[in-house]
Structure 1
Amino acid sequence: MTLATDTAVRADGVVLRYGRTTALDGVSLSLGTGVTGLLGPNGAGKTTLLRVIATAVRPDSGTVSAFGHDALTGPGRLAVRRRLGYLPQDPGFHPSFTAFEFVDYVAILKELTVRSARHAEVRRVLAQVGLDEQRGKRIRALSGGMRQRVALAAALVGDPALLILDEPTVGLDPEQRMRFRELFADLGEDRAVLLSTHQTEDVMSLCRTVVVLDEGRVRFDGTPVELAAQAAGRVWTSETRATGALASWRTGTGSYRQVGDPPLGADLLEPTIEDGYLTLVGLRATEDPR
């Protein structure tokens, strides 16, 4: 496991079960300043892990600490939440709220009690995500991309030192995704950001560290370059589809890009993060884009 010198968050041996299902099975990781990407197939336990770190769910065993506070105690949990920004998959919008009213409501929950200062903070974060001119619009009238930006603005209230983002670019068009990447890169300059995503290009563009979670266990913890290297010597191109390849698809040039055990003399290619990820978790990673 890669240990950051400026560790903000540490989880050790985290186990969480739902009935007979083990969602997290001894997960350990640490987060420092910068963006850490969390990859994994559906059912890997990514959202559960984010909820544990965000103090929304208590694990059955293991420890979680942030900024020197034990997140599993009452006082520690409160201290962590005061420095936390959390964007869940479903932010729970009230459709009749305006963008300003929703973020203002979250600001109240974050204990910003002085009205003038709170409203100034709401305007600041809405401007930060590019919604200054849309702050008076009702959420039900906003596009999906704008709703995601409202949710992100709410997570940014109070300038949190730890930002947890669960699939923040899902459903966004390429231009919106690029704008979000720019913002996340800026945010990661001076805080810890944990980003769960299925977009391997997001990881390559943003993340200093990437963690691959599979079946509730950490399968990889390292840099994007090290993840790509997991597939070194296992990616090749040919004119026909190879039987037995882990993954094989026809490219725009008409040739096949293949991941697995190459035949003798194969024309090897430089592996990507996606290749390394597929090598680690297999075809289950391609079954569902969520």
Structure 2
Amino acid sequence: MSIDTAEPATGLAVRASGLTLRYGRKTALDDVSLTFGAGVTGLLGPNGAGKTTLLRILATAATPDAGTLRVLGHDPLTGPGRLAVRRRLGYLPQDPGFHTGFTAFEFVDYVAILKELTDRRARHAEVRRVLGDVGLDEHRRSRIRTLSGGMRQRVALAAALVGDPGLLILDEPTVGLDPQQRMRFRELFAELGERRVVLLSTHQTEDVMSLCREVVVIDRGRVRFAGPPAGLAALAAGRVWTGAGREAGALASWRTGNGSYRHIGDPPAGAELLDPTIEDGYLTLVDTPAGGDRG
């Protein structure tokens, strides 16, 4: 039998090397290696890039075909290690799978039971705490089927926060939220990242810019970038310009609110260059084939 031994605490909470997973002929992850530690790390990538597959592996909901993994000092590819990780994990999947007949309190209480909080009084206090943290004090007795999409997201986040997990994995947590709700969630994620490891998968580059110390970009099942957000923006340095009309040869080109066009790609001679953003760097990266220049 394989015995899992926790490593001494270090600055790295996750170490993955060579993770590969295939579904039939499709390669979802292709030799993915990465490390990250305390704070909020953003995960960016197009739909179908492999982000959710990676999160499911880190959350012990899927097993890779190849590669090694350490999460919070444990090996989740072993039975004992998987159990140890789950005890310290908070996971918010894209589809939490609510039982809509439950109230918000009942759903989070059910998750707390699964997390082995057996003392009823202490467990209920914990459920009230996390529901309060996400602003659902007044709705904890409401049935989930009566809640808005944003409130359901908050219920799912409260369930992920039960037990004060050391690792929090959030898969598109702000999808479907209005700007005010997204701002509230950002404030909460920033606070959570001060005390634990948070991995945030999102399509919102502004979330990455405002929250994340590090960012990982996955495209076509491979890690294309890992580093600080400023480093991602720098990939587009000298490749963003403005003009009066659309440029046919640009990687991306769109009309801005003031009527001018913003372009990403190879600027023509004499073009008025602009300071790149994280979104510019991201678009430059994912529109360039892996392992080579544009052709």
Task: Give the shorter-chain TM-score range.
Answer: over 0.9
Give the 3-state SS of the residue equivalent to 1:254 in structure 2: coil
CA–CA distance in structure 1, aligned partners of residues 18 and 140 of structure 2: 43
Amino acid aligned to 2:233: A
TM-score by length of 1: 0.95
Indicate whether 1:105 and 2:86 are aligned.
no
- The aligned counterpart of 1:93 is 98
Deviation of the 1:282 alpha carbon = 1.4
Give the 3-state SS of the residue equivalent to 1:59 in structure 2: coil
Give the aligned CA root-mean-square deviation in angstroms: 1.0
- The aligned counterpart of 2:66 is 61
Q: How do residues 102-251 of structure 1 correspond to structure 2 at under 5 angstroms?
A: 102-251=107-256
Describe the superposition over 1:120-146 as per-residue Cα deviations: whole angstroms up to 9, x where unpaired.
000000001010111000000111100
| Residues 235 and 257 in structure 1, CA contact (< 8 A), matched pair in contact too | yes
Pair 1:61–1:282, CA change in 2 (3 A): same
Describe the superposition over 1:95-139 as per-residue Cα deviations: whole angstroms up to 9, x where unpaired.
100000000000000000111110000000000101011100000
Deviation of the 1:68 alpha carbon = 1.5
For 1:78, which of 80, 83, 86 is the aligned residue? 83
Give the 3-state SS of the residue equivalent to 1:96 in structure 2: coil
For 2:50, which of 30, 45, 50 is the aligned residue? 45
Indicate whether 1:253 and 2:263 are aligned.
no
Deviation of the 1:74 alpha carbon = 0.1
Deviation of the 1:67 alpha carbon = 1.8
Describe the superposition over 1:167-215 as per-residue Cα deviations: whole angstroms up to 9, x where unpaired.
0000100000000000000000011100000000000010000000000
Amino acid aligned to 1:216: G
TM-score by length of 2: 0.94
CA–CA distance in structure 1, aligned partners of residues 179 and 287 of structure 2: 27
Give the 3-state SS of the residue equivalent to 2:83 in structure 1: helix
Describe the superposition over 1:144-164 as per-residue Cα deviations: whole angstroms up to 9, x where unpaired.
100000000000000000000
CA–CA distance in structure 1, aligned partners of residues 44 and 93 of structure 2: 16
Amino acid aligned to 1:159: D
Give the 3-state SS of the residue equivalent to 2:287 in structure 1: helix
Deviation of the 1:283 alpha carbon = 8.8
CA–CA distance in structure 2, aligned partners of residues 215 and 245 of structure 1: 22
CA–CA distance in structure 2, aligned partners of residues 31 and 99 of structure 1: 32
CA–CA distance in structure 1, aligned partners of residues 140 and 288 of structure 2: 43
| Residues 107 and 122 in structure 1, CA contact (< 8 A), matched pair in contact too | yes
Give the 3-state SS of the residue equivalent to 1:218 in structure 2: strand
- The aligned counterpart of 2:278 is 273
Deviation of the 1:64 alpha carbon = 1.2
CA–CA distance in structure 2, aligned partners of residues 280 and 90 of structure 1: 28
Amino acid aligned to 1:112: L
Amino acid aligned to 2:145: R
Pair 1:9–1:283, CA change in 2 (3 A): closer
- The aligned counterpart of 1:287 is none
- The aligned counterpart of 1:282 is 287
Q: Which runs of 4+ in 1 moved over 6 A?
A: none
CA–CA distance in structure 1, aligned partners of residues 253 and 72 of structure 2: 45
The count of aligned residue pairs is 280
| Residues 247 and 283 in structure 1, CA contact (< 8 A), matched pair in contact too | no
Deviation of the 1:240 alpha carbon = 1.1
- The aligned counterpart of 2:3 is none
